[in-house]
Amino acid sequence: MTGETLYPRLEPLLARIQKPIQYVGGELNAQTKPWESADVHWALMYPDAYEVGLPNQGLMILYEVLNERPDALAERTYAVWPDLAALMREHGVPQFTVDGHRSVRDFDLLGVSFATELGYTNLLEALDLAGIPLHAVDRDETHPVVVAGGHAAFNPEPFADFVDCAVLGDGEQAVGDITDVVKAWKGQGRPGGREELLARLSRVDGVYVPRFYAFSYGPDGTIAAVTRTRADVPVKVGKRTVMDLDEWPYPKQPLVPLAESVHERMSVEIFRGCTRGCRFCQAGMITRPVRERTITGIGSMVEQGLQATGYEEVGLLSLSSADHSEIGQVAKQLADRYEGTNTSLSLPSTRVDAFNVTLANELSRNGRRSGLTFAPEGGSERIRRVINKTVSKEDLVRTVTTAYANGWTQVKLYFMCGLPTETDEDVLEIAELAVEVIRAGREASGRKDIRCTVSIGGFVPKPHTPFQWAAQASAETIDHRLRVLRQAINADRRIGRSIGLRYHDGKPGVIEGLLSRGDRRVGRVIERVWREGGKFDGWSEHFSFERWTQAAAEELAAFGVDLDWYTTRERTEHEILPWDHLDSGLDKEWLWEDWQEALSEEEVADCRWTPCYDCGVCPTMGTEIQIGPTGRSLLPLTVV
Amino acid sequence: MARQPEGPPPPPTVQKLRIRYAKRGRLRFASHRDLARALERALRRARVPMAFSAGFSPHPKISYLGAAPTGSASEAEYVEIGLAERRDPEAVRAALDAALPEDIAVLECVEAAQGTGSLADRIDTSVWRVELPGVRLEELAPAVEKFLAADVVTVAKRTKNGLKDVDARPAVASASAAEEAGCAILHMVVRQVTPAVRPDDVLAALAAVADLRPPLPPRAVREAQGRLDDTGTVADPLGPDRAARTRCQGEHATV
């Protein structure tokens, strides 16, 4: 029977595996609706382990938005670890949802949220376990429609063969529109089969159906043309943008797992979008314009969420939280409201700015004072101008010193390595900075036990950013720079012992680069890697660089391209990029100009406070910046 | 000198409550840590006025007693909490029960009576019921007899330091076989010793002495915990608290 629970078949397997709690569901605020109550059934997947996927805000939002509709039902599914996957194959138990333990194959739609490219092999594994044909063209009208979303869906070409459609941009309204289309098509008796359904979906704003677009390639391997195979699909597919965040206060009832997860706190998104213009940052480019939640909207989400979850920490999320037009009041009034309740509030990594230390002091006054995190991203002032994240060395040292002087003993600094135009000297300045920060910090705080952790990641150029044309640094370059940096930090042990260095080798970044800027030909590499056992590529114990490089070499040879061609090759101005037919609103000419300005180390200001610099988003998408201040205040909570 | 957080120290514990709860259904797969997390959050949602430890990272005053293993259900898990304000134990039980997932049931909540000793001192034994799907009584009964007749039954137990040989026999105070709806049931009373002897270890012992190998994973439920007396009875660990309360209140207390 469709929608039947598989739990009796699953339960005996759970007794034989690690961490069975992640597969049983029943989280606080989870929902299970009767199958027959809904016309449209969605399985929502986060393609990574439960502990990473459960806290994902995007999935939680869509789960709630869909389940609020009486005609829709949404359940969640996550990547299954190899120990259970092997038993499932042995006993014929398919990929299931954790809510109703229903077979994913029974649903009308399988929505998968790609926050990172390293989840692609996990989608293939889930499709295979679900009994859904891997290739979209092999599916018939009884199979779920596989829909991809999330930031990585802004270049869906590498996984285009495996999905039926991709949604660009905010999902809150798009999932409703898709539900309407599927409901109508089913209600009419599925006219025209799957082809007709997909054609109808392609007319939904923000929905891209890859099978209706064909690629041809030139002799040098670059894309010669992208042509439509149906006249009724859009030439260019634009992203969705939700305006007025106060109307979308989701998640209202955040899920709280019994199992341990990567975020043991509740999150409230205080604004979406960012116009700081950091050139490496795909999130900041594709989520424009800035849309703030009001101080009162934030206040009610925090209160409702705390009541619904029992969490003791609330993260105020966004891409640059200290930039909220009323952040000072938000911090002060929330801290006042929760005085004496052991509730702590936190901001994610922030820009290097003295104001942020004041904010952090305010936010932590009721609860635990953990570490403070800043993200200067670039080691030298020069490279920070290239990436448009300008802060002087003096300001940086002064800010971190202020943090130590205010009683914070742990400061974490985020950097990137392998940025365009970068030299060894730029990276070595990270060591000088860290040493100076510790020296000044010891003096300012009068303590020897302060610590600074330098966390450094390899830069991967991303689509829809000014760096989309850039040559990615090779794994060897990254590894060399990390090596000289480590030596420099350890040169003076008296200081070096207060500095921690966290980094990964450059290899996973190369594969992420292939998947980020790849085109439809890269799908064959992904499939090959999965067939040879590749999955959980975001986990170092499962990631195999050799498997990827060998699959890339063998699968791409027929096309006359290779791994380097996709990663370390700089693109020219007029090359057709695999995502040119997908519109994030950014004007390609503006992106190119910004890339040129990066190379000449010119900065661009934030359009929140300075005039528009014509990135193109607002006029193209019919949107505008929504910011305060509203001047409103949080009312005192009434004690029940 | 160790640094102290600013401000006054947290309010002291004014009332200790002892709680018995059950983990059932699919939440038998919850580990001790999973349950601890769930309980701490539920206490906040239920607005139980917890007492907190002092220091930079204040923690709510909760003491856990030995948890049933992951995968085993239980009708008798115990925890003790410290409150900064007095509350009616039954009201706390109901609020906490409502705040926890369906498969965790808060069964009893009593105020710790002064001078009756610690809860941990009243628990040294578990009463287990193990369902063995696919096993018949005729297979189980002789296996149990053989096990009880043996002086030593060594089983390999997985520990942090690899496999270790453990004698499963002395921990088992009593054991018997029964059958319900065609499924064999193993009842046993097991002392809480170190290293622990769990239902899995007894089943491994049955395999060792009588080659009993259940075709399907067994389902264990801890039915009770308490102190084993000379007659083989396991006493209710909340009994002394309840008795003290009954004495205070005359005849009004319920059982």
Q: Which among B26, B35, B38 has the least Cβ separation from residue A24?
A: B26
Per-residue pLDDT band at B255 (split at 50, 70, 90) = very low
B51, B101: one domain: yes
Domain presence at residue B240 = no
Q: What would the mean pLDDT of B118-129 be, rounded to a whole number?
A: 96
User: Would you place residue B1 in the very low, low, confident or very high pLDDT band (cuts 50, 70, 90)?
Assistant: very low
Chain B residues within 8 A of A15 when measuring between CB atoms: 71, 217
Integer Rg of chain A from CA: 25
At A118, the pLDDT band (50, 70, 90 cuts) reads very high
Mean pLDDT score, A169-173:
98
B52 lies within 8 A of chain A by CB: yes
CB distance from B49 to chain A under 8 Å?
A: no
> Is A259 in the B-facing interface, judged by CB distances under 8 Å?
yes
Nearest CA-CA distance, residue A299 and chain B, Å = 18
Does A309 sit within 8 Å of B41, measured CB to CB?
yes
| CB atoms closer than 10 angstroms to residue A142 | 10
Residue that finishes a domain, picked among B96, B117, B138: B117
Structural domain containing residue B173? 124-235
For A351-401, how does the pLDDT look when each residue is reduced to its tens digit (9 = 90+)? Answer: 787 778 888 888 877 665 668 889 999 999 999 999 999 889 999 999 999
* B91 is a domain residue: yes
Beta strands in A519-625 (DSSP E): 582-583
**Which member of A7, A11, A21 has the closest CB to residue B30?**
A21
Q: Is A458 helix (H, G, I), strand (E, B) or coil?
A: strand
Q: Is residue B251 part of a domain?
A: no
Average pLDDT value over all residues in chain B: 91
Residues of A (229-258) whose Cβ lies below 8 Å from B: 256, 258
Q: Look at residue B5 in the predicted model and tell me its pLDDT.
A: 64
* A and B: number of Cβ contacts within 8 A: 67
* Of the listed ranges A151-155, A217-221, A602-606, B160-164, the one predicted with least confidence: B160-164
Tell me, yes or no, whether B113 and B184 share the same domain: no
Domain end point (choices B117, B134, B164): B117
Give the least confident one: A248-257, A283-292, A353-362. Answer: A353-362
What is the tens place of the pLDDT at every residue in B55-93? 777 889 999 998 899 999 999 999 999 999 999 999 999
Structure tokens at A561: 């391209």
> Same domain, yes or no, for B170 and B135?
yes
CB contact under 8 A, A310 and B42: yes
The residue out of B89, B117, B145 marking a domain boundary is: B117
Q: Are B84 and B177 contained in the same domain?
A: no
Res A548: pLDDT? 98
Cα(A161)–Cα(A153) distance, rounded to whole angstroms?
A: 13
Confidence of residue A434 (pLDDT cuts 50, 70, 90): very high
- Is the residue at B33 inside a domain? yes
B142 exposed, middle or buried (CB, 10 Å; 0-12, 13-18, 19+)?
A: middle
Q: Is residue B3 part of a domain?
A: no
**Residue B131 and residue B63 share a domain:** no
Q: What is the pLDDT of residue B249?
A: 62
Q: How far apart are alpha carbons A560 and B193 in whole angstroms?
A: 68
pLDDT in tens, A297-352: 999 999 999 999 989 889 999 999 989 999 999 999 999 999 888 788 888 877 78
Q: Which domains does chain A have, with CATH numbers?
A: 7-216 (3.40.50.280)
How confident is the model over B97-105, as a mean pLDDT? 93
Mean pLDDT (chain A) is 94
Please indicate whether, in this complex, the C-beta atoms of A258 and B101 are within 8 angstroms of each other.
yes
- pLDDT for the residue B253: 41
Q: How high is the pLDDT of residue A9?
A: 96
Q: Which of B30, B41, B52 sits opposite A310 (nearest CB)?
A: B41
CATH code, B106: 3.30.70.580
Query: How would residue B158 be classed by pLDDT, with cut points 50, 70 and 90?
Result: confident
Q: What is the CATH number of the domain that holds B165?
A: 3.30.70
| A590 within 8 A of A541, measured Cβ to Cβ | no
Number of domains in chain B: 2
Q: Are residues B105 and B131 in the same domain?
A: no
Residues of A in contact with B43 (CB under 8 A): 310
- In angstroms, the separation between the Cα of residue A572 and the nearest Cα of chain B is 53
Residues of chain A contacting B217 with CB distance shorter than 8 Å: 12, 15-16
DSSP for chain B, please give it: -----SSPPPPPP-EEEEEEEEE-GGGGG--HHHHHHHHHHHHHHTT--B-B--SSS--B-EEE--PPPTT-EEEEEEEEEEESS---HHHHHHHHHHHS-TTEEEEEEEEPPTTS--SGGG--EEEEEEEETT--HHHHHHHHHHHHH-S--EEEEEETTEEEEEE-TTTEEEEEEEEETTEEEEEEEEE--SS---HHHHHHHHHHHH----SS--EEEEEEEEEE-TTSPEEPTTHHHHHHHHHHHTT----
Mutate to test the interface with A, among B21, B27, B32, B37 (most CBs of A within 10 A): B37
Q: Give yes or no: residues B58 and B23 share one domain.
A: yes
Confidence of residue B162 (pLDDT cuts 50, 70, 90): confident
**pLDDT digits 0-9 by tens, B5-54:** 666 778 899 999 999 999 999 999 999 999 999 999 999 999 999 999 88
Residues B62 and B163 in one domain: no
Contact A26 B33 (CB under 8 A): no
Is B254 inside any structural domain?
no
Indicate whether B100 and B155 sit together in one domain.
no
Domain identity same for B20 and B113: yes
Is A26 close to B99, i.e. CB distance below 8 A?
A: no
Lowest-pLDDT range of A346-360, A413-427, A578-592, B134-148: A346-360
Q: Is the dihedral of CA B18, B22, B26, B30 positive or negative?
A: positive
* Contact B41/A at CB under 8 A: yes
Q: Are residues B43 and B144 in the same domain?
A: no
CA dist B109 and B19 (Å) reads 4
Inspect the interface and report whether the beta carbons of B41 and A260 lie closer than 8 Å: no
pLDDT in the model for residue A66: 98
Considering only CB atoms, which chain A residues are within 8 Å of B99? 310
So what's the pLDDT on residue A370?
Answer: 64
Identify the band that residue A507 occupies on the pLDDT scale cut at 50, 70 and 90: very high
Q: Which pTM was predicted?
A: 0.94
Whether residue B130 sits in one domain with residue B92: no
Residue B138 lies in a domain: yes
The pLDDT of residue A367 is 61
**Mean pLDDT computed over A606-617:** 91
Using alpha carbons, list the distances in angstroms from residue A541 to A34, A467, A538.
39, 30, 9
In a domain? residue B165:
yes
User: How far is A245 from B44, CA to CA, in rounded Å?
Assistant: 28
Determine the pLDDT at residue B115: 85
